[in-house]
Amino acid sequence: MTNLKICLFTIFAVFCTSSVKAQNESANETSGTEKVFKIFQFPKNQIPRIDGKSDDWEIVPNSYEYGNEMLKDTEDGFGNAIDHTSDLDVSVKVGWVEGLNRLYFLYEATDDFWDFGRFSNKGYLNDIFEIVVDGDLSGGPFIYNPAYTKEDLKWDSQTEAYLENHFTFSGVHAQNYHIYTPPVNNAWVLIWGNQHWIGDFPQSNYAYDYNFEPGEEGKLVLEFWVTPYDYAPFEGPQKAIESELIQGESIGLSWSVLDFDGGEREGHFNLSHDTRMVKDASYLRKFKLMPIESELKDMIKAEWSFEVIDMEKKRVSFRDESQGEILKWEWDFGDGNYSNEQHPIYQFKEKGIHKVVTLTVEGPAGKSKHTKYWEVMIR
């Protein structure tokens, strides 16, 4: 295929994606009934250890837990049957840490028949936890490029169109993970796309805890994290663009539980209540990146950052990022000058690298101070 054709196909796909996203957002804005799904923010000193244990997640409130009642089968005719059966009971929690572009998951499931270890040359005949992540909430198709016809993308084709679609489009702007629960003699995850590397460390990490054999009942705990990508090409992470996770913003996310009991699949239970979520990000749920819960914050704690906005004129912008209710600020710039502004811009008189700047804040909970040594530098 010529470079011109590839370029035209890509432009068309982006246009279709943007159109679908706009339609989806418009529907959400007018419906007034959209459920707000939440992603718990872990404090930086309480990041989950990936060991297959759930104790790190005990600080997560129940309002962040999503169970059977949220799922619906959309392919095998079971509907909401998972709500009222002892066959399968699942719980999912999702977390994040400000400053890290990672999504943490705790998946706990009790099943009366764990189906794993069966080999299939089609990919899987095992219990699967499938997640789809759209880190920038762009929406739209992400497996099959709408620039191609259905005939072009016939499954397992070796045509130029099929291969071009897979190597340049599938999973690039949103990612689909088929996670084996648990894996046996195979990778922990099957990536539906060309970027198999997103399932490798340090792009992701995982751990299981279970004590049962194939065909037995029991409980499985799966703890893992993944990195969301705005652009995840076949070439690898060195050319990828991570999704930037920002407090208060939302991402697209959904999951499915594929249940097998020794034969064919017995349920495609998913959070979106629409099978199209596996290949079109417009059908994902909107998840909000929440702030740290108030009970996990310090009552008062001074924090701040800075940016040199004009090195020649020695101008530096300071930003207060303190926790708690703050009523008073005092900035000590280390040269005999002070400011009571919350976010001052200060012009230093002299250049140098050994500057010491201190912010002191006061509020109903008391006083807190934070100093940075030799970080503000002027040349």
Cβ-contact 323, 298 below 8 angstroms: yes
Please tell me the predicted confidence (pLDDT) of residue 156.
80
Please tell me the predicted confidence (pLDDT) of residue 26.
32
Separation of alpha carbons 158 and 262, rounded Å = 32
Mention the CATH class of domain 3-28+36-294.
Answer: mainly beta
Q: Dihedral (C-alpha) 259, 265, 266, 269: value to the nearest 10 degrees?
A: 50
Separation of alpha carbons 12 and 98, rounded Å = 35
CB neighbour list of residue 158: distance below 8 Å, 6 or more residues apart: none
How far out from the chain centre does Cα 234 lie?
20
**pLDDT profile of the chain (379 residues), mean per 10:** 43 43 36 78 97 98 96 82 75 98 98 90 88 98 95 87 96 98 96 98 99 96 99 98 98 95 82 97 98 94 98 98 97 98 98 98 98 98
Separation of alpha carbons 368 and 354, rounded Å = 23
How many other C-beta atoms are found inside a 10 Å radius of the C-beta of residue 374?
Answer: 11
Separation of alpha carbons 20 and 207, rounded Å = 36
How many other C-beta atoms are found inside a 10 Å radius of the C-beta of residue 19?
Answer: 14
Number of helices (H) and strands (E), helices first, in the chain? 2, 24
Please tell me the predicted confidence (pLDDT) of residue 83.
60
Please tell me the predicted confidence (pLDDT) of residue 81.
66
Domain 298-373, CATH 2.60.40.10 — does that match? yes
- For CATH 2.60.40.10, list the domain ranges present in the chain: 298-373
Report H helices in 90-170. Answer: 160-168
pTM of the model: 0.86
CB neighbour list of residue 173: distance below 8 Å, 6 or more residues apart: 17, 134, 136, 138, 140, 142, 229, 230, 231, 232, 281
Parallel, antiparallel or unpaired: strands 204-209 and 265-270: unpaired
Question: Residue 288 class from Cβ within 10 Å (0-12 exposed, 13-18 middle, 19+ buried)?
Answer: middle
